[in-house]
Amino acid sequence: MKKRLIALTFTGLLLQAPLYAGDQPGPIDTASLKSTASGVLIGGLLAGPPGMLVGLVGGALVADAEKSEQEISTLQGALSQAEQTRTMEQERIARRHQAYKALMSTEQSRLDAMQEGFSLCLGFRTGSAEIESRIEDQLASLAVMLKAFPELKLQILARTDRRGSESYNQSLSRVRAEAVAKRLIEAGLPQARIAIRYVGEAGARYPVEDFEGLGFDRTVQLTLVRGDAS
């Protein structure tokens, strides 16, 4: 009886193969066919016709499981490659971030050194707002240098000595500050980067009797400040 069932099984598979090929647009899945045949054969040997049905289904499931394992393995390989790529990209970004921080730290130190270490004091003759020719050259050089430091502004603070009326000295200090600013602008420094203050005799430190000290009060002081600190 079992021999007959086995013969029927193989006969059925042989008859199904052409039909299966005709139904499918692509090539025959030999792995599925072998698994199905094995399942039918084992089922026929163990349990007769019911076992054949169980074996047929089981063989198909085995083939599907093998395909799933292959697909899972392929996906795992792709995920592993993607994870490696992501890790490498994160490391590259981290290195760039560190390099950027180091560059910004260096730039900050450079600006601090410029701001803290720079101060220029210009002297004027009594009652005059005329800029000496040598000072004009210095202002032109300063304007060129400041082009390399766009984060910095130049603050102009003009003072006078105590001689003359308070209103006169206030006006004189304003004219001196504007004269210095005008020379810097002519040399190429944008007006927006220049902040002007004039205080007249309010900043004077020497009495009118001290003729030598009065020269230190007739000044326009130039100081670097941050762009948002003016």
Q: Is the pLDDT of residue 12 over 80?
A: no
Over residues 93-139, the pLDDT tens digits come to 877 766 666 655 555 555 665 555 577 889 999 999 999 888 898 99
- DSSP code string of 64-120: HHHHHHHHHHHHHHHHHHHHHHHHHHHHHHHHHHHHHHHHHHHHHHHHHHHHHH-EE
* 77 against 202, higher pLDDT: 202
Amino acid at 75: L
**Distances in whole angstroms, Cα of residue 19 to Cα of each of 11, 16, 205:** 13, 5, 113
Q: Which of 15-24, 29-38, 214-223 has the highest mean pLDDT?
A: 214-223
Q: Is the pLDDT of residue 66 over 50?
A: yes
pLDDT averaged over the chain? 75
> Which pLDDT belongs to residue 96?
76
Round the CA-based radius of gyration of the chain to a whole number and report it: 47
Give yes or no for a contact between 201 and 176, defined as CB atoms under 8 angstroms apart.
no
Band of the pLDDT at 42, cuts 50, 70, 90?
very low
Q: In the chain, what percentage of residues exceed pLDDT 90?
A: 35
Checking phi first, is residue 18 left (phi over 0); if not, alpha (psi -120 to 50) or beta? alpha
> Which pLDDT belongs to residue 61?
55
